Structure 1
Amino acid sequence: MRASTITGLSLLIALTGVSTAVAADAKRQQVANAVVEPTATVPPTTSFVSELRFGLSAEDPWGPEGRNKSANLTGEILFAKPFTASDLFTSYFIPRPHIGGSVNFEGFASFAYAGLTWTVDITPTFFVEGSFGGAIHNGEKGHLYASPDRSSLGCSPLFRESGSVGVRLAANWNLMATIEHLSNGGSCADNRGLTNIGARVGYSF
């Protein structure tokens, strides 16, 4: 009776040890699997649109249309750079494509445009910018039928250049002063051109 009891206890202890060892092995395997299992990473999202801008400008303040003190509502979309550079200096030479438009409140010359924009940081807060492209317009094209208060732009499309000085107000917002000039570059008989000055607000993505 006593021998069988001792044998049973010995068997129970042995089984308990085996069970504990098996459980420990399973735990170590789980830990090993957790260590070697690769962690899934979410790729960063990139936006096709880089920045949205809107603002107001005075139309040709030094020309015929400026005598009426007419104003424009302006809007612009800048797209992301087609590729990036490894260093900041080189990145300044890579432009952002843009499209935009200017609508005159009094029915004078309105236009749509597209081109390339180069932005250079002077400090973390201040920046300068230049752009070049082309524009189509609904303004006067010939001097023979041009009204005295209208600029004769010669033809359409035109070249468009602009320059801006800006300040970053927050992480995504900026404010800039802009001057733009449209002309046919001598490709038409009339080459008066159109120069607008204004201010714009930009929101970056």
Structure 2
Amino acid sequence: MRSGIATGLGLLVFTTLGASGAHAADAKRPSPTAYPAATQPSLLSEFRIGFSAQDPWGPEGRDGSANLTGEILFAKPFTASDLFTSYFIPRPHIGGSLNFDGRTSFAYAGLTWTFNLTPTFFVEGSLGGAIHNGEKNPYGLSGHHQALGCSPLFRESGSVGVRLSANWSVMATVEHLSNAGACSENRGLTNIGARVGYTF
């Protein structure tokens, strides 16, 4: 009787130790999902397309004129450890504005700073330069062109936007081109419009 009990106890201890050893070995063995595959950072951050009114308060918009606008924003060149500092790291951008009526069109590049007011609403500012195909001096101007003095020009813009989802957003934008006194005829060009953005 006693030998049967001893044999049973021995089998129980052996089984328990064997199971513990198996669990320990499994714990040491790396899980297939323990090290997720590294993702390649994307170069592109966002694409935007929209329309704008050409210089509504100036000669180029006297009879009403519209532009097709497009812009690509690239990923931030580096990231910060805290959210506040990351707001001050800009995204590089390139873009253009194509006028439908043969008035001033331009291409531009620069830096964009985006600030989230809430998870849904954001404001934005950008600064850079633009090259254009418009008139540079007042001599021989048609009635629908503004003398811009020179090329390239400085370009500044501001936007107020709403995020519709994780990828889509809409925004109202005002942009201004001028030579900041670097050459003559410095009235500049101001366009206002709306754009749709898709974040990658």
| Cα deviation, residue 100, structure 1 | 0.3
Alignment of 1:37 with 2:32, yes or no, is: no
1:148: Cα distance to partner?
A: 2.2
The answer to whether residue 83 in structure 2 is matched with residue 91 in structure 1 is no
1:116 paired with 2:111, answer yes
More helix by share: 1
- So what's the TM-score if we normalise by structure 2? 0.85
| Counterpart Cα distance in 1 of 2:111 and 2:129 | 10
Distance in 2 between residues matched to 1:35 and 1:166, nearest whole Å: 49
Which segments of 5 or more consecutive residues in structure 1 lack a partner in the other structure? 1-20
Q: CA deviation at 1:35?
A: 3.0
User: Which structure is larger by alpha-carbon Rg, 1 or 2?
Assistant: 1
Alignment deviations for residues 15-70 of structure 1 (CA, whole Å, 9 cap, x no partner): xxxxxx9xx97x98876554323344211342110000000000000000111211
Q: Which runs of structure 2 are paired with 1:1-205 in the superposition (5 Å)? A: 33-38=25-30, 39-205=34-200
The answer for unaligned runs of 5 or more in structure 2 is: 1-13
Number of aligned residue pairs: give it.
Answer: 182
Find the residue that maps to 1:89 and give its secondary structure: helix
Post-superposition Cα deviations, 1:56-96, rounded to whole Å, max 9, x if no partner, equal 00000000011121100000000000111111111111000
Residues 136-181 of structure 1 deviation map (CA, whole Å, 9 limit, x = unaligned): 0000111112212210111100000000000111111100000000
Q: Give the RMSD, CA atoms, in angstroms.
A: 1.8
Would you say the 8 A contact 2:103–2:144 is kept in 1? no
Deviation at 1:195, TM superposition (A): 0.1
Name the SS of the counterpart of 1:159 in structure 2. Answer: strand
State TM-score, norm by structure 1.
Answer: 0.83
